[in-house]
């Protein structure tokens, strides 16, 4: 049984056990049970593609007809889902194949993240750190939540690619590390423009390592070359020629593609012309590469440099919809639980990383690794402070430092001559994990929270979830529905109906129309609803009093249509359909 003692094999067993737990904890494995409306819409996009929609066309044509709703999503995320569906369909049928794909694909991404985490921690802190870091990863809810069954949107991809970028930064083989890092960052950018700050972060740290030592030249050069080449290839392969002339701030197009191409060309050229025999030459090389990218960005960046690009949504959609999406807001706008959950683990990890650097100050190579890790974690934490949904990447980057600190304190505890110190000291170390730090914060905040905070925490959707059944809606003939944004994706995957909008920003006109329809007074709302579907109007109106979005409309406009319906005041142009509960249907009278 000695082969089981190998840290890598233990990590594999831990991964398999984690998968079993994730599957076992999932609700309703026999039916699609989505975590978020984005997961439901992702499946709809895959269905459309398998059903014959062109590769380059990701428009949702049942949203805001007749033109449809343009989407900024990448086919890269669709590929493994579609592949698993097509593989399983002959054996499991259409429904079973979708269940299989939406369960297995998140676990496949988690497998990639587990490998990258094990390797990166091994190169940073050694073999024992690799195993403990993997165990920390597989017990961190803030990360695992993005890999649970049915979580098929791009968030798991982003975390996995962050892991591979870290892998590339610390790979002892500089050229291989640069290629891995460049591929990971290019794929991240091709999937989401949220990867931009991490591109700057990882390349900036690679540049500092290069400035310190010419031995790091291959890492930086190959990261830049691979980023440019893979970015161009992925952009063209997934979006056609549009990225070469379009200016879109939410996708890998001209404002972002051209600067990374400029970097990929200028950096090797500068290295060839200037050389890197001493730090001054390396500084010039880095400055020329970064300068070429910066100048290109200034020339082609256009509206992407003029502040928040989402201001183009229009004042109503921006103020009522976009600003209310808390996962995209900064840490200081979150409640006390989220605030600590975002900040405490990476701050604890940063302290641990700096302690590790100090402890290794006599070993220049180890000191450099830990200082580089501290910069990665500091950058990731800053992004998480500005955008709440980036917390998973920050928590991932906290693992190496926390791992080192736990191992160091474990050795001290075990060296104690007193058994009680060994037992209690070792047990207390569970707090020094991302999960332990988050749990400690939640426990403390629970004692300090006010009754108002507790009431606000209880205000959440309980009926109108992305996995809800819709028998009354499914029984209707294919129709045009006027419904809240967050219900839209569920309507699409469970029925043949058409809708006005979902919560996806490129359909700004549809989002604004839905908001106006629900907050306008009933007579004005009737005109808004009659204007949809190319002027043909909607056939039915759908509401859910338990939906946070709908409650917000009621609060925002006390005399609006949503508030009137919530009070049971139904205008004469709406005919209530039979049904009970929070989910209500109204037939729209044309006369």
- 480-482 β-sheet, strand order: 498-499, 480-482, 540-544, 583-588, 574-576
Closest CA to 543 of 533, 553, 534: 553
Q: 3-state class of 572 per DSSP?
A: coil
Q: 3-state class of 291 per DSSP?
A: helix
Where are the strands (E) in 483-573, listed by range?
A: 498-499, 540-544
The pLDDT of residue 135 is 95
The pLDDT of residue 438 is 86
Domain-by-domain residue ranges, the chain? 158-304, 307-458, 471-588
Instruction: Please provide the size of the chain in residues.
Output: 591
* Cβ atoms of residues 352 and 402 within 8 Å: yes
Beta bridge partners of 482: 541
CA distance 243 to 252: 7
CA distance 458 to 536: 40
Task: Convert 353-372 to b/e letters by CB count within 10 Å (16 or more is b).
Answer: bbebbeebeeeeebbbbbbb
Least confident of 70-84, 170-184, 237-251, 447-461: 447-461
pLDDT category of residue 5 using cuts at 50, 70 and 90: low
Torsion sign over Cα 560, 488, 390, 143? positive
Beta bridge partners of 60: 69
Round the average pLDDT of the chain to a whole number and report it.
90
The pLDDT of residue 520 is 94
**Helical spans, DSSP H, in 126-154:** 127-137, 141-144
- Percent of the chain at pLDDT exceeding 90: 70
The pLDDT of residue 361 is 92
Is residue 290 over pLDDT 60? yes
The pLDDT of residue 225 is 97
- Percent of the chain at pLDDT exceeding 70: 95
Closest CA to 150 of 93, 186, 101, 222: 101
Least confident of 232-241, 254-263, 493-502, 572-581: 572-581
Closest CA to 403 of 450, 356, 357: 356
Cα separation values, 503 from 150, 331, 560, Å: 19, 22, 21
The pLDDT of residue 451 is 54
Is residue 544 over pLDDT 80? yes
CA distance 452 to 474: 39
């Amino acid at each position: 049984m000695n082969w089981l003692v190998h840290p890598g094999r233990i990590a594999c067993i831990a991964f398999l056990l984690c998968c079993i737990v994730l599957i076992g904890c999932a609700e309703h494995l026999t039916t699609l049970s989505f975590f978020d409306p984005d997961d439901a819409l992702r499946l709809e996009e895959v269905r459309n593609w398998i059903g014959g929609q062109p590769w380059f066309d990701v428009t949702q044509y049942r949203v805001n007809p007749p033109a449809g709703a343009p989407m900024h999503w990448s086919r890269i995320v669709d590929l493994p889902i579609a592949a698993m569906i097509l593989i399983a369909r002959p054996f499991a049928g259409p429904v079973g194949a979708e269940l299989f794909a939406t369960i297995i694909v998140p676990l496949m991404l988690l497998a990639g993240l587990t490998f990258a985490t094990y390797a990166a921690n091994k190169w940073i802190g050694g073999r024992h750190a690799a195993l403990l870091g993997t165990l920390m990863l597989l017990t961190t809810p803030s990360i695992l939540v993005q890999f649970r069954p049915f979580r098929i949107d791009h968030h798991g991809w982003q975390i996995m690619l962050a892991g591979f970028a870290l892998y590339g930064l610390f790979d002892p083989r500089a050229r291989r590390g640069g290629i891995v890092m460049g591929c990971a960052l290019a794929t991240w950018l091709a999937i989401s423009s949220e990867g931009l700050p991490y591109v700057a972060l990882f390349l900036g740290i690679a540049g500092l390592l290069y400035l310190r030592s010419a031995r790091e030249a291959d890492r930086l050069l190959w990261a830049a070359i691979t980023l440019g080449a893979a970015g161009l290839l992925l952009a063209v392969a997934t979006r056609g020629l549009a990225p070469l002339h379009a200016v879109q701030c939410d996708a890998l197009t001209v404002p972002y593609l051209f600067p990374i191409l400029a970097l990929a060309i200028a950096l090797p050229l500068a290295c060839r012309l200037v050389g890197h025999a001493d730090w001054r030459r390396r500084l010039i090389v880095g400055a020329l590469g970064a300068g070429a990218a910066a100048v290109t960005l200034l020339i082609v960046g256009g509206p992407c440099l003029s502040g928040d690009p989402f201001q183009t949504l229009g004042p109503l959609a921006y103020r009522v919809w976009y600003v209310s999406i808390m996962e995209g807001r900064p840490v200081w706008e979150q409640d006390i639980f989220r605030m600590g959950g975002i900040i405490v683990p990476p701050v604890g990890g940063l302290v641990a990383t700096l302690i590790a650097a100090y402890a290794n100050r006599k070993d220049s190579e180890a000191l450099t690794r830990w200082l580089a890790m501290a910069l990665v974690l500091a950058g990731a934490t800053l992004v998480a402070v500005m955008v709440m949904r980036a917390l998973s990447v920050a928590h991932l980057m906290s693992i190496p430092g926390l791992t080192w600190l736990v191992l160091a304190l474990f050795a001290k505890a075990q060296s104690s001559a007193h058994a009680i110190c060994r037992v209690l000291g070792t047990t207390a170390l569970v707090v020094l994990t991302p999960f332990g730090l988050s749990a400690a914060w939640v426990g403390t905040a629970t004692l300090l929270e006010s009754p108002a905070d507790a009431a606000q925490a209880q205000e959440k959707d309980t009926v109108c979830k992305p996995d809800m059944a819709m028998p009354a809606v499914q029984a209707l003939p294919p129709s045009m529905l006027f419904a809240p944004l967050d219900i839209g994706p569920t309507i699409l995957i469970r029925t043949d109906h058409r809708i006005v909008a979902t919560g996806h920003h490129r359909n700004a006109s549809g989002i604004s129309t839905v908001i106006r329809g629900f907050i306008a007074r009933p007579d004005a709302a009737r005109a808004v609803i009659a204007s949809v579907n190319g002027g043909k109007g909607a056939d039915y109106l759908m509401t859910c009093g338990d939906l946070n979005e709908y409650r917000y409309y009621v609060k925002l406009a006390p005399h609006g249509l949503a508030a009137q319906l919530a009070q049971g005041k139904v205008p004469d142009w709406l005919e209530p359909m039979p049904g009970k509960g929070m989910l209500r249907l109204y037939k729209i009278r044309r006369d």
